[in-house]
Amino acid sequence: MYGLNRYICDVLEEMRTSVKTLNFAMIPSLIEEVQTMADMKDLKTLKDEIHEKKEELKILKKKIEKKKKK
């Protein structure tokens, strides 16, 4: 979801309507809107992955410290 309760599917449906009515004036802005939505989703996924990897790193560092103490 992005912005004001709008989904990518909603924007794609508007694009389909534009094609049916042969009114292409909004297509460039709708393409940009979908791209922005997809980019935001990618950024959230990347943020979540970074968080997971930081947790894994903490665990590995603890294991290394345990090995060094032995």
Sign of CA dihedral 35, 40, 42, 43: positive
Structure confidence by residue, pLDDT tens digits, 9-29: 999 999 999 999 999 999 999
Residue 22's pLDDT is what? Answer: 96
Domain presence at residue 2: no
Q: 2 has which bridge partners?
A: 6
Q: Is residue 1 a part of any domain in this protein?
A: no
Using CB atoms within 10 A of its CB, is residue 2 exposed (0-12), middle (13-18) or buried (19+)?
A: middle
What pLDDT sits at residue 1? 46
Domain that holds residue 17: 8-69
- Are 2 and 43 in contact, with CB atoms under 8 Å apart? no
State residue 7's pLDDT score.
87
Instruction: Examine the pLDDT at 62 and tell me if it is beyond 60.
Output: yes
**For the chain, how many structural domains are there in total?**
1
Give tens-digit pLDDT for 24-46: 999 999 999 999 888 888 888 99
**Position 50 in a domain:** yes
